[in-house]
Structure 1
Amino acid sequence: MLENLRKKNPDLSILRISDPEFQKYGRVLKGYNTDEITKYMKNKTDIPEEGNIYIASDSEMKKLEIIEKIKQNIFGELEIQAGYCNGNNSQLNALEFHKSPEVNIAVTDMILILGKTSDIKENEYSTEKTDIFYIPEGIIFEVYGDTLHFSPCKTSDSGFKCVVILLDGTNTELSDTISDDKLLFKKNKWILIHDNFTRLANLGAHKGLNGNNIKINY
């Protein structure tokens, strides 16, 4: 799969999540049995015909044993939400960050495009500073709180499925209080978008991504 992606995207450097370059963005988690949650995702969740679907919190998923272990080991017993992002995305469009870790489980093969918050200058970020990672099905990994990320990109026509675990309340609507921080978009969610990402531009997200709006061919 990776070699095919590299052939289809000769102008992009697509790395493996096991490559040392990933270590500044996050870490692969070992010792977790993902069989139950993978079965749940494959049997109980769907990929929309177009676009993505993001469910911040799935009450049935939260009951699974692996979620409790992640709550203890990664979030230090703070309350978490467990949900998923399934879809057909194949382009960068935006980069967001949370001031807390995020745990993902790749239920299908997928691509993630990552950056660092330290490279944001005056609410602007160049997409040339990103790294692109191929993540095989079945990998569970943590993304650090200072890592820029957004929706996975699909590696085939069938789309992608990804578990998303975050501190409880993340990605929910802000109160009526107006923040001085232009990047704050939802609770514990700061975001920069590309000029042509009209869906979030229409909702007031900050247009701060400069450079190529990276697209993954498959």
Structure 2
Amino acid sequence: MRRYALIGVLSLATCVALAQRLPEPRPNLKGDLTLPVPLAPKLFDDITENIGRIGLRLQYPFAKGLGVGVGGDATWFGIEERSLLPYSVSGEIFRSCYFGQAQYEHYFAERSFYEFAAEAGLAEYRYHSSLATHVPKDRGFHWGVHMGYYLHASDALAFSLRIGYEVDDVQLSPDKLGIDEFPGRIIDGPQGPFRFFTFGLGFSTTFGRSEGARADG
């Protein structure tokens, strides 16, 4: 009986020791390459094609995985030429976004962790259309939520899978593309705000050495 009790105590102590050795989040730079899938308005999805998005975020954890950060991203959409016939429109829509965020990171194993983040900021759209005489711009409030699963390749570098949901408070109108109307479509209300589902890959590189690395060094 004492033998089993001793084994149980040792097993519990081992689990506690392993849990205590899990890394803590450190200041980091995160980047991602994602694909934004338009959810609304449907018209935006009809007349554009996804090219892609790149983004960077600088994050600072301050208490038990909670932290704050700042970041920005750039997104490109191509204009589908045949979607606006009889108009012959070509070009692209460029979106830039700058935001602040709050995040929670948690290690559940020595080399893997997850992250939840909420962000808010400003999004700007620039419409580069072959029929427009200038480049119209539209700015609006941006907010989004994201989550990611990270796996370390080394002490300072991890790679991730990411998904998210975002909203930009902007409107789509034909004059931004240099046309008078959206042909063949019945517009029954404001064409906005823009909503996206995002998914893709990311990386995280940390600053400073982990507690384990400091102990070994």
* Relative contact order, higher structure (CA 8 A, sep 6+): 1
Query: Do the two structures share a fold, i.e. TM-score over 0.5?
Result: no
Structure with bigger strand share is 2
Bin of the TM-score, shorter chain as denominator length: under 0.3
Q: TM-score, normalised by structure 2?
A: 0.20
The structure with the largest alpha-carbon Rg is: 2
Q: TM-score, normalised by structure 1?
A: 0.20
